[in-house]
């Protein structure tokens, strides 16, 4: 058993807790265990005076948990911190270098794999490592390359989550203080676009490589995170535009493809949420004057809101109608009805209904949808009851039709 002690590093090193909270890390540790055949894997924070476990997968009974420390000098990770190279061997007692090394002898290890993890700005963070008391057969160079990729995915995910958390925390503090700094938000949104786009392109490049299936899925998680971050940035930018320009600007054009445009949006949402039962019907065929991009954004915001807050066991209904005096678009979900006091606040910026479950986003989707409706000279209203469900109704008068 190792000489383990609870660490105080978690109190003064936020990176340790940040890595522990990443949902992708347990999947990576599972992949490392399966790939190496070793029964213990961990992500460790390694500094010049401390070795601390951030996350652990222990099928070996090694006795080390998240937040625990090892004596730094007893680890090979301390050497990796200095030379920044992977260390992989499958049979320590028969190895020309590690047969007499103090770490395998002290911890009674035969197989070992560890690679350095660097933050996106190039700083050494720690290691991704795996160990076992029994020897295993390894492709040392191939394993080192795959584990290095896993380390890069952890660093990229950590950077993305850090940016999202910083943006969300900044916005919450502004709301709590009652201060809306629209110009600041616009600048932040603009400056975040470049690193998010770079991370997204890197994730897409990884997905195009001939990687193991689990690595492909992990690259997909990074790509999904960048899309989430891009969506948050778009919401922030739209909020700033709405506040600064007294509304979201729209470019009206005469078009006869509203139904087709809506179906394209629904197809993308179905792909992202295959569990959702989205049923759509359209009876709108005459030409309309509308902003294609903004109308698609309105539909996406309403349907995604229905997926988030509706009963997943019941369908989401999307219905477009030509009622003669107006063209309407209704999005209905079912579940627990919304109380009247909450209904009155749904279109307020940053409003998030009380819930025991965490909800994604910043609470801007419905506000932006209402502003898009206003830019079209239309209205967006909501009703909610146990029998009829919760229905958001977009209504555009025929005076705006061509």
For 362-372, the pLDDT digits (tens) are: 577 888 899 89
For 51-74, the pLDDT digits (tens) are: 999 999 999 999 999 989 999 999
Topology annotation, domain 253-400: Heat Shock Protein 90 (3.30.565)
pLDDT for res 135: 96
Look over the chain and give the mean of its residue pLDDT values, rounded to a whole number: 83
Is the predicted pLDDT of residue 3 greater than 60, yes or no?
no
61-65, 357-361, 378-382: least confident range:
357-361
Is the predicted pLDDT of residue 134 greater than 80, yes or no?
yes
Is the predicted pLDDT of residue 111 greater than 70, yes or no?
yes
Is the predicted pLDDT of residue 277 greater than 90, yes or no?
yes
Is the predicted pLDDT of residue 262 greater than 70, yes or no?
yes
Check whether domain 5-150 has CATH 3.40.50.880, yes or no:
no
Provide mean pLDDT across the span 236-253.
69
Domain ranges of the chain: 5-150, 156-244, 253-400
Q: Which helix (H) or strand (E) holds 397?
A: strand 389-397
Is the predicted pLDDT of residue 132 greater than 80, yes or no?
yes
Q: pLDDT tier at 179 (50, 70, 90 boundaries)?
A: very low
What is the CATH number assigned to the segment(s) 156-244?
1.10.287
Which string of DSSP letters, residue by residue, matches 261-318? HHHHHHHHHHHH-TT--EEEEEE--S-EEE-HHHHHHHHHHHHHHHHHHS-TTS-EEE
Alpha-carbon distance of 4 to 342, in angstroms, equals: 51
Is the predicted pLDDT of residue 11 greater than 50, yes or no?
no
What token pair was written down for 176? 């709590």
Is the predicted pLDDT of residue 401 greater than 50, yes or no?
no
What token pair was written down for 101? 């090394």
Instruction: Supply the pTM of this predicted model.
Output: 0.46
Q: pLDDT tier at 399 (50, 70, 90 boundaries)?
A: low
């Amino acid at each position: 058993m190792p000489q383990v002690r609870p660490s105080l590093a978690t109190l003064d090193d936020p990176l340790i807790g940040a890595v522990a909270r990443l949902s992708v890390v347990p999947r990576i540790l599972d992949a490392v265990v399966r790939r190496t055949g070793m029964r213990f894997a961990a992500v460790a924070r390694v500094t010049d005076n401390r070795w601390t476990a951030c996350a652990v997968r222990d099928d070996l009974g090694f006795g080390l948990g998240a937040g625990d420390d090892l004596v730094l000098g007893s680890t090979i990770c301390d050497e990796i911190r200095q030379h920044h190279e992977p260390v992989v061997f499958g049979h320590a007692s028969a190895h020309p270098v590690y047969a007499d090394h103090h770490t395998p002898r002290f911890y009674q290890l035969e197989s070992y794999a560890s690679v350095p993890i660097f933050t996106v700005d190039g700083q050494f963070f720690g290691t991704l490592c795996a160990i076992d008391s029994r020897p295993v057969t390894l492709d040392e160079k191939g394993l080192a390359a795959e584990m290095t990729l896993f380390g890069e995915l952890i660093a990229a995910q950590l950077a993305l989550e850090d940016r999202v958390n910083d943006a969300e925390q900044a916005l919450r503090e502004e709301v709590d203080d009652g201060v809306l700094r629209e110009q600041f938000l616009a600048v932040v949104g603009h400056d975040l676009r470049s690193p998010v786009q770079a991370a997204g392109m890197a994730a897409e490049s990884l997905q195009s490589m001939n990687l193991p299936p689990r690595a492909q899925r992990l690259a997909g998680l990074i790509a999904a995170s960048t899309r989430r971050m891009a969506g948050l940035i778009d919401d922030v930018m739209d909020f700033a535009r709405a506040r600064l320009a007294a509304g979201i600007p729209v470019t009206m054009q005469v078009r006869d493809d509203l139904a087709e445009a809506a179906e394209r949006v629904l197809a993308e949402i179905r792909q992202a949420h295959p569990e959702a039962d989205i049923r759509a019907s359209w009876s709108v065929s005459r030409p309309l004057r509308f902003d294609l991009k903004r109308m698609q954004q309105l539909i996406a915001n309403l349907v995604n809101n229905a997926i988030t807050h509706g009963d997943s066991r019941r369908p989401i209904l999307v219905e477009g109608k030509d009622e003669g005096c107006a063209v309407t678009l209704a999005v209905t979900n079912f579940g627990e009805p919304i109380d009247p006091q909450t209904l009155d606040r749904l279109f307020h910026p940053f409003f998030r209904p009380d819930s025991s479950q965490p909800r994604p986003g910043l609470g801007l989707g419905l506000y932006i949808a209402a502003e898009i409706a206003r830019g079209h000279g239309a209205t967006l209203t909501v009703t909610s009851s146990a029998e009829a469900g919760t229905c958001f109704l977009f209504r555009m008068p025929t005076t705006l039709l061509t």
